[in-house]
């Protein structure tokens, strides 16, 4: 099976879905780039992270649309096109730019199907790059999937690896509901085996990445990579844990988490967002409610602090929940603190 | 109004400082020592300095992701800026902001902004404050909203322009049209290809100037600022300019024709044009400007050395400057 980076896996999914379904279009800032430039080179960019490379030459400017820097118009136009029968994939470049177009997402896209009494599907996918770790500062680094997860009507996807990213994006494009698709910038170059043919990863189906008896670790997006490192370190001490990647935060696969918790009795949740009203808090509440009878110890949440993302590497390193903090949290839930 | 020699020399020094600051960053970024990503202002110096030459520390500006030039033109400390860009503890924002978020409220610099179109509404708010504090007689303070050609396609900017006209507040909208919204040409992304017409449609005077001509920018700013200070309301200046580097450092710039930057450096260099103008009218001797060049190089050298030697923030500062109880 070929090894693909997450960037290339998403790119492949976009190619395959546009090939399969002429209703799929892509729009956003610099998705091809070069329009109105002086070099005459169309597709001068292929997306700021190179994720949409090759789409313009293959599918043309009618379906691969470079937009001005106008996030509200990007999302709104994608939604309108969806209401009129297309299946748009809008790109917001950085997830932080959701702030500019929140009305189109929150008051428009998310509500159509319900508010119009089920008359309208709004099959739009909104892709965006998220996450800290690249010293991009407070307005280019946030992990805001929790914010979007709180909105009824949206589905929210946060892949942790290339294979899932491909299958989840294909599912997102084929889904009749609006889907917000978060791509962690630090995961773009990371490779794994990805099937060549199109395939779907169903929403609301978590992935059980490791099995173990001592605790349940639920990690989201890039935090999965760090949780694996922490578990590798703890394995040397004979500690073994279930590692669960929910893959979609809305819908959330509650059953997989609760079943694991039944076996281990201990839960650590790792979330790159700040702690309040977060996905971590949401999963902890699940454990405190339906999972209460299984709990042998208080749930431990590993999150960013309740601050904006700092710029300086010295501070950002401390901001991002890393393997060491996860390792410490697992020790804590096991009562192994020194 | 003619600028006196002192002001002219100061304007040249600021433009040269911006140029050397950015040229040096271009070199230092390549070493990998500077975190994050950086958008250089080189090529656009005459806009920031031509505009800010008419402002005092009591006037406000809001800036963009490409904000180093605005900071220097408004009088921010160059060493403090350099330390901020290196992520150091005693940078202008304690290393928490970085290149895209430098602010210095003592200088009326209300912050660079990494959201395109994020700044202009803030400038209107600052202008409301200026208007409220306007003396019964005489001139009031003003605010300037710097933005690129890309920002003129954002709804927030339309809203800000309309609000400024509705309230008659002293905001000057400065659109620096460097030809590119990130990797896309302004000729494509600005539908009408005419930013001034948009501003005019909101009901304010708007003029386009050659942004590589300091004197042209300054003259337009004089008209706009006189109007604003007198209480007659907002204006727009569109300055056509170019950037000598990519959207950010590392941008391969495939959207630009081969040789374009070299051509523009030869024909649109605001420093060379400034020198030519003052040589032609005999107002300043070349030797005086050469002396400024040498002094600026030393200042930038010192700023880089100071930044590299400065301490990083300590981890405890992660949770300061914010309300936090958990």
pLDDT digits (tens, 9 = 90+) for B208-247: 999 999 999 999 999 999 999 999 999 999 999 999 999 9
Share of chain B above pLDDT 90, in %: 96
Same domain, A166 and A234: no
User: Is residue B157 a contact partner of residue B120, using CB atoms and an 8 Å limit?
Assistant: yes
Q: What is the pLDDT of residue B2?
A: 73
Rounded CA separation A300/A316 (Å)? 22
The count of structural domains within chain A is 2
CB contact under 8 A, B88 and A312: yes
Which A residues, 15 through 54, put their C-beta within 8 Å of a C-beta on chain B? 29-30, 33-41, 44-45, 48
In whole angstroms, how far apart are CA B90 and each of B35, B69, B80, B103? Answer: 16, 20, 7, 13
Name the residue among B115, B312, B314 with its Cβ closest to that of A100: B115
User: Is residue A128 a contact partner of residue A94, using CB atoms and an 8 Å limit?
Assistant: yes
Specify the DSSP element, H or E, that contains B132.
helix B120-132
- Indicate whether A263 pLDDT > 90: yes
Same domain, A155 and A269: no
Rounded CA separation B287/A321 (Å)? 56
Phi/psi at A261 (5° precision): -60, -35
Tell me the average pLDDT across B88-98.
97
* pLDDT confidence tier of residue B136, bands split at 50, 70 and 90: confident
Beta bridge partners of A269: A218, A301
Tell me the average pLDDT across A179-203.
98
User: Does residue A159 belong to any structural domain of this protein?
Assistant: yes
Q: What is the pLDDT of residue B137?
A: 84
On chain A, the residues whose CB falls within 8 A of the CB of B182 are 29-30, 33, 48, 69
Range of the domain at A217: 207-333
Q: Is B36 on the interface with A (CB under 8 A)?
A: yes
Q: What is the pLDDT of residue A338?
A: 53
User: Does residue A271 belong to any structural domain of this protein?
Assistant: yes
Do the bridges between strand A191-193 and strand A3-5 make them parallel or antiparallel, or are there none, so unpaired?
A: antiparallel
User: Does residue A9 belong to any structural domain of this protein?
Assistant: yes
End-to-end CA distance of chain A: 45
CB contact under 8 A, B255 and A41: yes
Same domain, A277 and A171: no
ipTM of model over 0.90: yes
CATH number of the domain at A145, please: 3.40.50.970
Structure confidence by residue, pLDDT tens digits, A43-90: 999 999 999 999 999 999 999 999 999 999 999 999 999 999 999 999
Same domain, A128 and A104: yes
- Indicate whether B62 pLDDT > 70: yes
Last residue of a domain, one of A147, A170, A193: A193
Same domain, A61 and A163: yes
Same domain, A87 and A179: yes
Q: What is the pLDDT of residue B1?
A: 54
Rounded CA separation B203/B161 (Å)? 9
Read off the pTM: 0.96
Same domain, A238 and A154: no
Please give the structure tokens belonging to residue A236: 């040397």
Tell me the average pLDDT across B112-123.
97
* pLDDT confidence tier of residue A42, bands split at 50, 70 and 90: confident
- Indicate whether B325 pLDDT > 90: no
Residue A337: is it exposed, middle or buried by C-beta count within 10 angstroms (0-12/13-18/19+)?
exposed
Same domain, A158 and A36: yes
Structure confidence by residue, pLDDT tens digits, A210-239: 999 999 999 999 999 999 999 999 999 999
User: Does residue A233 belong to any structural domain of this protein?
Assistant: yes
Q: How many CB atoms lie within 10 A of CB A99?
A: 14
User: Does residue A107 belong to any structural domain of this protein?
Assistant: yes
User: Does residue A80 belong to any structural domain of this protein?
Assistant: yes
DSSP B291: H
A184 belongs to the catalytic site: no
Q: What is the pLDDT of residue A321?
A: 97
Count how many Cα atoms sit within 13 Å of the Cα of residue A141 in the half-sphere of its side chain.
Answer: 27
Same domain, A142 and A221: no
Structure confidence by residue, pLDDT tens digits, A307-333: 999 999 999 999 999 999 999 999 999
Residue length, chain B?
Answer: 326
Long-range contacts (CB closer than 8 Å, 24 or more residues apart) made by B24-29 = B24/B300, B24/B301, B24/B304, B25/B68, B25/B85, B25/B249, B26/B245, B26/B249, B28/B304, B29/B249, B29/B250
Domains of chain B and any CATH numbers: 5-319 (3.40.50.970)
Tell me the average pLDDT across A159-183.
98
Question: Any residues with CB less than 8 A from the CB of A60 and at least 6 apart, and which?
Answer: none
Last residue of a domain, one of A158, A193, A228: A193
CB contact under 8 A, A315 and B98: no
- Indicate whether A301 pLDDT > 70: yes
DSSP A322: -
Q: Which of A47, A271, A314, A322 to mutate to test the interface with B (most CBs of B within 10 A)?
A: A314
Rounded CA separation B192/A69 (Å)? 15
Tell me the average pLDDT across A185-195.
98
User: Does residue A338 belong to any structural domain of this protein?
Assistant: no
Mean pLDDT of all residues in chain A?
97
User: Does residue A201 belong to any structural domain of this protein?
Assistant: no
Q: What is the pLDDT of residue A155?
A: 98
Q: Cα distance from A76 to chain B (closest Cα, Å)?
A: 12
Q: Is B151 on the interface with A (CB under 8 A)?
A: yes
Same domain, A181 and A316: no
In whole angstroms, how far apart are CA B17 and each of B22, B76, B110, B147, B286? Answer: 9, 11, 21, 21, 17
User: Which residue on chain A is closest to B189 by alpha carbon?
Assistant: A68
Name the residue among B114, B185, B319 with its Cβ closest to that of A36: B185
Q: Which residue matches tokens 């319900």?
A: A114
Same domain, A12 and A118: yes
Same domain, A53 and A142: yes
Q: Please give the distance of CA A80 from its chain centroid, rounded to a whole number.
A: 24
Q: What is the pLDDT of residue B324?
A: 83
On chain B, the residues whose CB falls within 8 A of the CB of A276 are 326
With CA atoms as reference, report the closest residue to A173 among A157, A186, A153: A157
Mean pLDDT of all residues in chain B?
96
On chain B, the residues whose CB falls within 8 A of the CB of A35 are 184-185, 188-189
CATH number of the domain at A278, please: 3.40.50.920
């Amino acid at each position: 099976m070929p090894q693909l980076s997450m960037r290339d896996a998403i790119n492949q999914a976009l190619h395959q879905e546009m090939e399969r379904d002429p209703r799929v279009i892509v729009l956003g800032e610099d998705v091809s780039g070069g329009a109105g430039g002086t070099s005459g080179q169309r597709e001068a960019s292929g997306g700021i992270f190179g994720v949409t490379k090759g789409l313009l030459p293959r599918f043309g400017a009618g379906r691969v649309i470079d937009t001005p820097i106008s996030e509200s118009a990007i999302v709104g136009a994608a939604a309108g096109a969806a209401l009129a029968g297309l299946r748009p994939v809008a790109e917001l470049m950085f997830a932080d730019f959701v702030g500019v177009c929140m009305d189109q997402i929150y008051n428009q896209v998310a509500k159509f199907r319900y508010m119009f009494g089920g008359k309208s599907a709004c099959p739009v996918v909104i892709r965006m790059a998220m996450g800290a770790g690249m010293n991009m500062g407070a307005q280019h680094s946030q992990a805001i999937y929790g914010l979007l997860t709180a909105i009824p009507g949206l589905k929210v996807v946060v892949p942790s690896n290339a294979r899932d990213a491909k299958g989840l994006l294909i599912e997102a494009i084929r889904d009749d509901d609006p889907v917000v698709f978060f791509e962690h910038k630090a995961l773009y170059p990371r490779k794994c085996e990805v099937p060549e043919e199109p395939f779907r990863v169903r929403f609301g189906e978590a992935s059980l990445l490791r099995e173990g008896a001592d605790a349940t670790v639920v990690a989201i997006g890039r935090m999965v990579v760090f949780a694996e490192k922490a578990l590798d370190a703890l394995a040397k001490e004979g500690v073994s844990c279930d590692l669960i990647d929910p893959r979609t935060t809305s819908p959330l696969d509650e059953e997989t988490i609760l079943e694991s918790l039944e076996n281990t009795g201990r839960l650590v949740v790792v979330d790159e967002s700040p702690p309040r009203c977060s996905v971590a808090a949401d999963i902890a509440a699940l454990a405190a409610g339906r999972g209460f009878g299984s709990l042998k110890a208080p749930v431990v949440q590993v999150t960013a602090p309740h601050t904006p993302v700092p710029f300086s590497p010295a501070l950002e390193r401390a901001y991002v929940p890393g393997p060491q903090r996860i390792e410490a949290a697992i020790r804590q839930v096991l009562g192994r603190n020194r | 109004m003619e600028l006196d020699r002192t002001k002219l020399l100061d304007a040249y020094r600021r433009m040269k400082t911006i140029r050397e600051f950015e040229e040096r960053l271009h070199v230092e970024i390549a070493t990998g020592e500077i975190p994050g990503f950086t958008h250089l202002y080189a090529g656009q110096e005459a806009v920031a300095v031509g505009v800010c030459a008419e402002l005092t520390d009591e006037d406000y500006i809001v800036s963009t992701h490409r904000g180093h030039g605005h900071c220097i033109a408004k009088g921010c400390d160059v060493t403090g800026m350099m330390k901020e860009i290196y992520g150091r503890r005693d940078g202008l924002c304690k290393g928490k902001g970085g290149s895209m978020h430098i602010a210095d409220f003592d200088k009326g610099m209300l912050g660079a902004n990494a959201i395109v179109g994020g700044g202009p509404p803030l400038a209107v708010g600052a202008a409301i404050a200026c208007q409220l504090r306007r003396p019964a007689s005489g001139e009031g303070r003003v605010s300037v909203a710097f933005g690129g050609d890309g920002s003129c396609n954002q709804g927030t900017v339309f809203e800000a322009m309309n609000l400024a006209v509705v309230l008659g507040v002293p905001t000057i909208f400065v659109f620096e049209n460097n030809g590119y919204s990130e990797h896309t040409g302004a000729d494509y992304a600005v539908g009408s290809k005419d930013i001034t017409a948009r501003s005019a449609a909101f009901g304010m005077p708007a003029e386009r100037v050659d942004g590589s001509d300091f004197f042209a920018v300054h003259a337009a700013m004089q008209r706009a600022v006189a109007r604003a200070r007198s209480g007659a309301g907002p204006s727009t200046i569109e300055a056509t300019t170019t950037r000598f580097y990519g959207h950010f450092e590392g941008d391969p710039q495939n959207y630009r024709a081969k040789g374009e930057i070299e051509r523009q450096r030869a024909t649109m260099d605001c420093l060379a044009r400034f020198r030519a103008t003052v040589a032609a009218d005999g107002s300043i001797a070349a030797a005086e400007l050469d002396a400024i060049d040498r002094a600026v190089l030393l200042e930038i050298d010192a700023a880089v050395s100071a930044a590299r030697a400065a301490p990083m923030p300590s981890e405890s500062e992660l949770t300061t400057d914010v309300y936090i109880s958990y």
